[in-house]
């Protein structure tokens, strides 16, 4: 046990003096009529009165210890393991069809709200990737950035869909920014990739992502099937590929991704915490006993 202000413990000399004085002094105040009676059978009375005299000093001891700030090291507790989640969102022209981007944006926002404590980043891509928001635990940064990533706000040269280039870009960002914790990329797109037509290139990219402990989940927004090459890439990294055609479907997909990577906890380090309870009990016992003595024990003349 340690104290935040150990110098205050020097005040313990005061209650020690009071205790010594309570047991060494002679005479017990004003004599009452029954003091002249025979007390041979009540030899315990002086001891009882001395004990009552000690109680204020005991209460003072408890107060002094509390003022000194007693602390003990708390046992290791489990801390939430950080998960670094980077959204890789397609903002090509086709994502503005049928309110696809609006549905994806709402699903992402709800997913972010459900994973408070994780770090999130946002990369948008079309023909080229753009780092929109670096990994951060400030959830408002993601929420506020999503409306400005709308495909209708993008220049014409973002009209293509190059998933391979975007994932390589996200891989570099994740390795640089996510120094600890799990790593996950959630790819949201609605079309075929113009730079992943070769399955060997996709598997090579999957090996690079897997070597960096990055899991890729692909959310295909649209009525078509998931491109086989992207589906294989996601599975090679340990992730899954999903199809969602409406807002509810997107929400179910993100819920499923959350279940695939549930919150994990690990033992944390010890930290000092206040340890007032025993000294508070000591002070209350001293004060309570003193009140009982004032009302019952005759060491004051009332």
Mean pLDDT of 37-47: 59
Q: 134 or 264, which is more confident?
A: 134
Mean pLDDT of 145-169: 88
- With beta carbons less than 8 A apart as the criterion, state whether 88 and 233 touch: no
Sorted by where each begins, the domain ranges of the chain are: 2-75+271-295, 79-267
Q: Average per-residue pLDDT in the chain? A: 82
The torsion angle over the Cα atoms of residues 264, 181, 233 and 133, rounded to 10 degrees, is: 120
Among the ranges given (23-37, 64-78, 216-230), the one the predictor scored with the smallest mean pLDDT: 23-37
pLDDT of residue 290: 81
pLDDT of residue 24: 76
pTM: 0.63
pLDDT tens for residues 43-53?
Answer: 666 677 777 77
- Tokens of residue 11, six digits: 């005040």
Q: Is 222 left (phi over 0), alpha (psi -120 to 50) or beta?
A: left
pLDDT of residue 133: 92
- With beta carbons less than 8 A apart as the criterion, state whether 84 and 118 touch: yes
- With beta carbons less than 8 A apart as the criterion, state whether 28 and 46 touch: yes
Strand bridging mode 70-73 / 2-3: antiparallel
Residue 241: Cβ-neighbour burial (10 angstroms; 0-12, 13-18, 19+): buried
Among the ranges given (128-132, 281-285, 294-298), the one the predictor scored with the smallest mean pLDDT: 294-298
In which band, very low, low, confident or very high, does the pLDDT at 301 lie, cut at 50, 70 and 90? Answer: very low
- With beta carbons less than 8 A apart as the criterion, state whether 14 and 60 touch: yes
The residues facing 87 across adjacent strands are: 122, 186
How far CA 299 is from CA of 33, 60, 93, in Å, comes to: 14, 19, 93
Q: Number of C-alpha atoms within 13 angstroms, CB side, residue 239? A: 29
Mean pLDDT of 136-160: 87
79-267 homologous superfamily: von Willebrand factor, type A domain (3.40.50.410)
The residues facing 80 across adjacent strands are: 265
């Amino acid at each position: 046990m340690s104290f935040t202000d150990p110098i205050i413990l020097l005040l313990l000399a005061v209650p020690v003096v009071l205790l010594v004085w309570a047991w060494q002094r002679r005479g017990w105040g004003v004599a009452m009529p029954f003091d002249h009676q025979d007390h041979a059978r009540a030899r315990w009375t002086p001891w009882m009165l001395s004990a009552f005299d000690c109680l204020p000093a005991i209460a003072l001891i408890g107060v002094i210890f509390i003022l000194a700030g007693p602390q003990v090291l708390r046992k290791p507790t489990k801390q939430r393991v950080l998960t670094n989640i980077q959204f890789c969102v397609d903002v090509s022209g086709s994502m503005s069809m049928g309110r696809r981007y609006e549905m994806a944006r709402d699903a992402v926002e709800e997913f972010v709200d459900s994973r408070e404590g994780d770090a999130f980043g946002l990369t948008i891509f079309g023909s080229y990737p753009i780092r929109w928001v670096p990994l951060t635990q400030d959830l408002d940064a993601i929420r506020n950035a999503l409306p400005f990533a709308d495909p209708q706000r993008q220049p014409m040269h973002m009209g293509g869909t190059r998933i391979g280039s975007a994932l390589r870009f996200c891989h570099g960002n994740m390795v640089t920014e996510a120094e600890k914790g799990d790593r996950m990329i959630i790819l949201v797109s609605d079309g075929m990739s113009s730079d992943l037509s070769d399955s060997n290139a996709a598997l090579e990219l999957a090996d690079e992502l897997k070597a960096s402990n990055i899991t890729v989940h692909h959310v295909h927004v649209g009525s078509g099937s998931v491109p086989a090459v992207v589906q294989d890439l996601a599975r090679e990294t340990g992730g899954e590929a999903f199809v969602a055609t409406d807002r509810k479907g997107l929400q179910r997909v993100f819920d499923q991704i959350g279940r695939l990577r549930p919150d994990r906890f690990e033992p944390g380090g010890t930290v000092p915490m206040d340890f007032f309870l025993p000294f508070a009990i000591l002070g209350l016992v001293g004060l309570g006993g003193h009140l009982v003595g004032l009302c019952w024990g005759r060491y004051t003349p009332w």
